[in-house]
Amino acid sequence: MQQNLSSSDPIVSLRDVQKSFGPLRVLDGVSFAVERGEVLALIGRSGSGKSTALRCIDRFEKVDGGEIVVCGHRVDRPDVDLRALRQDVGIVFQSYNLFPHLTIEQNITLAPCAVKGMATSRARDLARKVLAQVGLEEKLHAYPEQLSGGQQQRAAIARSLAMQPKVMLFDEVTSALDPELTAEVLKVIEQLAADGMTMVMVTHEMGFAKGIADRIVFMHRGKVHETGPASILTSPTTPELTQFVGTGNLKS
């Protein structure tokens, strides 16, 4: 399934992607691409299709039409090797989804051991390393319920990082957190961006999107309505984006 991938090919590309839930057309010809090392922010109102677009990249939703290529995998095809795809793609969810019966260390080492056959001792070293990256080394042996929401989300990011993905997807990862906890999670994501990780994020944090994203994709009614560098948030060209950013507080 994996085609030869030259370094100039985009990591993620969507072309004319269509997706309906029953009669509701959620994605209506969505196209965008993410280059290696790029940070792309998907913004838009609730129901605009941004989360669905993100989930299509990791094939949590099957598309009805169009083409999706992720790290050389043809995600739109029915015969895509899901496990190979998901070793290349890391995803972090709004609700953290840490495994409650496992310690943070076990949460992190499970996939490298079970999927990649990594030796336990190496996986443990790796767990320490990725937890240090998100500033949670001291929580190695804690259970998820002993952590705050922000810590749980950072642990979930660490768990994803341990699989050494080529691209990370963030699906409204701070929406369940208060401003203080949001800030600690965003700091971790900023550091990842600085380290050159390719990322696609659905976010409602406009100030953060503006600060970190190389490119913004503004979705409206299932279509890419406006796209461009972060500066489009301060000088939008379409009335819909003007209205959308006008409702937030972008003064900072």
Partner 1 sequence: MSLQLDFPAVLERWPSFLGGAALTLELAAFATVLGALFGTLAAVGRGSRSPLIAGACKVYVETIRNTPLLVQIFLVYFGLASLGLKFSAFTVAVAALTINVGAYTAEIMRAGFEAIPRGQIEAAEGLALSRLQIYWHIILLPAIEKVYPALTSQFVLLMLASSVCSQISAEELTAVANYIQSDTYRAFETYIIVAVLYVILSLVMRAGFWGLGLVLFPRRRRLGTPL
Q: Whose Cβ is closer to partner 1: residue 91's or residue 136's?
A: 91
Closest contact distance (angstroms) between CB of 36 and partner 1 is 21
Closest contact distance (angstroms) between CB of 48 and partner 1 is 21
Closest contact distance (angstroms) between CB of 123 and partner 1 is 13
Cα–Cα distance, 56 to 52 (Å, whole number): 6
Q: Whose Cβ is closer to partner 1: residue 90's or residue 236's?
A: 90
Closest contact distance (angstroms) between CB of 199 and partner 1 is 15
Cα–Cα distance, 218 to 106 (Å, whole number): 38
What strand order describes the sheet that includes 24-34? Answer: 24-34, 12-21, 65-70, 73-74
DSSP structure class, residue 2? P
Closest contact distance (angstroms) between CB of 197 and partner 1 is 16
197 contacts 164 by C-beta, under 8 angstroms: no
Nearest to 42 by CA among 61, 21, 56: 56
Q: Whose Cβ is closer to partner 1: residue 157's or residue 232's?
A: 157
Q: Whose Cβ is closer to partner 1: residue 159's or residue 220's?
A: 159
Closest contact distance (angstroms) between CB of 251 and partner 1 is 35
Residues at the site binding partner 1, with contacts judged by CB under 8 A: 58, 60, 82-84, 86-87, 89-91, 93, 95, 97-101, 110-111, 114-115, 143, 145-146, 156, 159-160, 163
Contacts of 219 (CB under 8 A, 6+ apart): 30, 42, 43, 44, 48, 49, 50, 53, 225
Beta bridge pairs of residue 131: none
Q: Whose Cβ is closer to partner 1: residue 16's or residue 116's?
A: 116
39 contacts 17 by C-beta, under 8 angstroms: no
Residue 154, φ and ψ in degrees, nearest 5: -65, -40
